[in-house]
Amino acid sequence: MRMKSVSIHWKAMFIRPTFGTGDMVRQHAILTEAAGLVDGGVLRATATRNEGVINAANLRQAHAAIEAGRTVGKLVLAGFRPSVRTA
C-alpha cells in the first residue's frame, strides 16, 4: 500500500466521552446538528432492508442476500443484545 500512497484513517464517534476530554460538549453539538440534518431529510440512513429479529432463519436469509452480491445499502437484523459478563 505504501507504494500506492494509500492511507487508512479511523474515526471513533464517541472518543470524547470515552476518554473524558476537555471538549466533550462538542459531541453534543455534533449530535444535535446530525439530528437536525436527519429530521430535515438531508441525511438518510443507509439501511435498505430489515430482515426482522435476529434468529437462525433470518440470519441465514440475510447471509444469502449478502452472498448473492445484489444488496444495496445496509441490511438490518434487530434485537441483538451482546452478552454482559460479570466477574
Opening angle at CA 30, ends 26 and 32, nearest 5: 115
Name the pTM for this structure: 0.49
Terminal C-alpha separation, the chain: 42
Q: Say yes or no: 38 and 5 in one domain.
A: yes
- 3-state SS assignment for residue 47: strand
Q: Say yes or no: 1 and 33 in one domain.
A: yes
Which pLDDT value is given to residue 82? 67
Which pLDDT value is given to residue 87? 57
Give the mean pLDDT per block of 10 residues along the chain (87 residues): 75 84 90 94 89 93 92 87 63
Domain containing 59 equals 46-87
Which cell numbers hold the place of 20?
A: 473524558
- CB-CB neighbours of 11 under 10 Å: 5
Burial letters 51-68, b for 16+ CB under 10 A, else e: beeeeeebeeebeeeeee
Domain count for the chain, please give it: 2
Q: Say yes or no: 55 and 36 in one domain.
A: no
